[in-house]
Structure 1
Amino acid sequence: MASRTVAEHPELTGKLEGFRDLWAYDSSSVSLRREVARVFAVGTNSDRAGAKLHAGMSLRTNAVIRPKITARRVSDERGIDLGRDVEDVLVLLDRGYSRHGLFASIEADGGFYLTRLKQSTNPKVARVHRGGATPEHARPRTLDEALDDGVIPLDGPVDLDVELSLGKARGLSARVVALPVLQDDGTEVFWWYLTNLPREAYPAEILRDFYRLRWQVELLWKQLKSRFRLDDIEAYTEHNVRLIMESAILAHFLSLGVMEATTTPAERKKLTVGRMALLFPFAVPKLVELLLAEDEEEALALARRIRGAVLHGATDTNPKRTRQATLKRAQRTKAAKTP
């Protein structure tokens, strides 16, 4: 698995080969004109209108995965549509998608999931692998009971086998991990994760690094809204709303396609889709000319022009803006402030 996204996280080198892809899934809302409130309602008793785009982002290709457009009132749990092609895919979800049936379906189709544990989720603890439990505390407990009784002292990483309820059906076996995180003010908090990733291949500490990749889907929404005008919809009909939103997704997809077709994997690590969007007015007519060119030399000249424009115009003007560089700058700033 190779992409700029993964390249910016050298700590994950060699740890992602077991996945066919990683999907960061989320939703984003846009405001609409009141004329379409009947279809795209914000709430039950509201005359305001808004649409919600539910989609994943492939961290291998940076493409939009399984987009679905609904009214803003539709919850994330109801809006998600992963399809059945999730075998060997790790799906990164936020806590808005904490539906046990969703986790079960991902696992049944051969996929993996990783999410932050929702505060209201209280699974039964089946076995403690890390966390200090002793044999005399072996009777079945929920996670909340185990924490309240001191069976699982929070003095380091916790790694548990748990069982999630699935209505009247048999429970779903899963894994819960808690990792201590030092806050800026010096206090320590625990971040809790829920997953079905096997413990033998993926130790507790790596889950936090995996989950951090989910932030890329937030950057996707920012790109779609700022570069592809997803947040600029002046439409009076449902058809036109969907057309404009789907056009933004298509433009993003075509931008990725042009980059893929005209550059090498090494070159693409230095390019951004956001800057590629600025080239779109130039690239589209040139691509049409290329498709219609009858002379081979003319076609080659056009292809070289397109490639040159992509390499020049889509290059990241701030290549040091990576997570690793940001962390180093923060550490230097903190060290400078320390007396």
Structure 2
Amino acid sequence: MNNEFITFSRPLKSFFDKISIREFARKTKFMQRIRLLQPECFLSTLIQTLSFKDHANLADILRIMDSEQETSQYKPFHNQIKKAECTTFIQSMVEEATKALFLAPFKQALPKETPFKNIFLHDGSSLTLNPRLKEEFPGRFTKTAPAAIECHLTMDLVKGVAHYIALDADKESEKNYRPSEKGLKETLVMMDAGYFDIGYLEKISQSGGFFVVRAKANINPLVVAKYNEMGTELFHNEMKLKELKSKDHDFVDMDVQWIKTNTPFRVIQFYDRKRKGKGYLITNLNRGQFTGEKVLSLYGLRWQIELFFKELKSFCSLKKVNTVNPNIVKTLIWASLLTLIIKRYVALSVGILWQTIISTQKTCRSSICWLPKLMNYLKSDEQDISLLDEIFSFISKNCRRSNTKRDRETEMFTSDLIPYCQIKYLESYLHKKRA
């Protein structure tokens, strides 16, 4: 398996190459001249420190950096991390890591019969900041969180990584950061009720895209047709949705029409256990190919973006950011995203090599046991296969999903879509490297 270890570690090794990191530092004007603080050491220290904490602490980062370089970095560290160019540098490294580790090597893996080629999930997550930052990042809740920043994220579900990221004040409308309908051709996008907008969904259909979006509970379109769970049309007279005599637990698949649009929509009524009442999904997926139950299962995959945010906040130091410098806030958020990208790539690689299902959350939680060793390997000029074997073996034994029988009964695996459809193109990538 030595060749396979090298195959999966090569993109990481290339990403952490000292020369390329310094080139990014110069290109982003983060460091024009390399002095006491070296950008490659700065980057690896950020990743290691943020990987072990539930909140970002500059003192912890500095201590690890001092221990590695065996000299005090206090002044150069604080001078560099507070610069706007530092944020640009880390952001560019996030974009490069996404491209090098997830987008460039791997090909499309969705089944041929699926009408869409990509699946995007979009949502936002807010982070409370020091109240002194309320001018730069005003929050929606002025009493409890006067300062807060929102991370707007579009996740590529097939590849398990962020496709688009934006940071802005929590007070700004989240609809400003939803995916552009022009870029959703042959793409399925899934969003929560906060992004429900009939005009926007109509434009997605017109551009050749697909959607499954949770509708607001107060919608009242004209119901023009009604179907059962098997897709068989039921006798029905046209009436408003609120006039439809259906119970909370009834499953109803409908064709509906809004007065302000000419586009017909498909609405699925289901029982919402959380709210203990009716819930609605709106979609343009074909009923012949996607039954109502199938649409519900697909929408259940939207939970993956919540898990992404959970890993970011709990295992990559985004629960709390202790600083009053707005540039440092954004730098640490981008650094946390970079940390999660590295962890997810390693988890995915181990899953392929051992042909097993690896939990990304367990991999994140246990990173204190393996990530320092990995960083030492990546910074070394030697190819220490025994160290890689130790790292990958630890993850394969300790980070497997605990209930694979249940997993295989869920939409994640039975649909052959997410997340281990990645196995297909990773295997293809691996075989090409062997050849």
Provide the TM-score with structure 2 as the length reference. Answer: 0.58
Cα distance, 1:104–1:291 mapped onto 2, change above 3 Å: farther
- The CA distance in 2 between the partners of 1:283 and 1:180, in whole Å, is 43
Q: In angstroms, what is the RMSD of aligned CA positions?
A: 3.6
TM-aligned CA distance change 1:106 to 1:302, over 3 Å: farther
1:60-103 per-residue CA deviation (whole Å, 9 max, x = no partner) reads 23212312212111233233235744333322211111112331
How many residue pairs are counted as aligned between the two chains? 295
Query: Structure 2: how far apart are the matches of 1:314 and 1:27?
Result: 27
Question: More displaced, 307-316 or 285-294?
Answer: 285-294
Q: Secondary structure of the equivalent of 2:184?
A: coil
User: What does residue 76 of structure 2 align with?
Assistant: none
- 2:389 counterpart (287, 292, 304): 304
- Give, in whole Å, the separation in 2 of the partners of 1:277 and 1:57: 21
Aligned to 1:174: 265
Asked whether the equivalents of residues 186 and 209 of structure 2 are also in contact (C-alpha less than 8 Å), the reply is: yes
CA contact (8 A) 1:227 1:274 kept: no
Q: Which 5+ residue runs of structure 2 have no aligned equivalent?
A: 1-109, 411-435
Partner deviation per Cα, 1:181-226 (whole Å, 9 max, x = no partner)? 7x69xxx954322111111111122222122222222222221111
RCO greater where, 1 or 2, for CA within 8 Å and sep 6 or more?
2
Question: What TM-score, normalized to structure 1?
Answer: 0.72
Aligned to 2:61: none
The one-character-per-residue Cα deviations of 1:132-169 (angstroms, maximum 9, x if unpaired) are: 444xx45xx5433x42xx5x798954322223455xxx
CA distance in 2 between counterparts of 1:50 and 1:180 reads 34
Residues 285-300 of structure 1: matches in 2 within 5 Å?
286-287=374-375, 289-290=377-378, 292-293=380-381, 298-300=383-385
Q: Where does residue 342 of structure 2 map in the other structure? A: 254
Q: 2:167 aligns with which of 69, 83, 91?
A: 69
Q: How does 1:192-231 map to 2 (within 5 A)?
A: 192-231=280-319
How many Å apart are 1:45 and its aligned residue? 6.4
1:53 Cα offset (Å): 1.2
Is the Cα contact below 8 Å between 1:271 and 1:311 reproduced in 2? no
Distance 1:266 1:163, change over 3 A: farther
CA contact (8 A) 1:66 1:82 kept: no
Is the contact made by 1:94 and 1:115 (CA closer than 8 Å) also made in structure 2? yes
Percent identity (aligned): 21
- Which residue matches 1:122? 220
> Quick one: distance in 2 between partners of 1:273 and 1:155?
34
SS in 2 for 1:90: strand
More helix by share: 2
**AA in 2 matched with 1:233:** V
Matched letter for residue 264 of structure 2? S
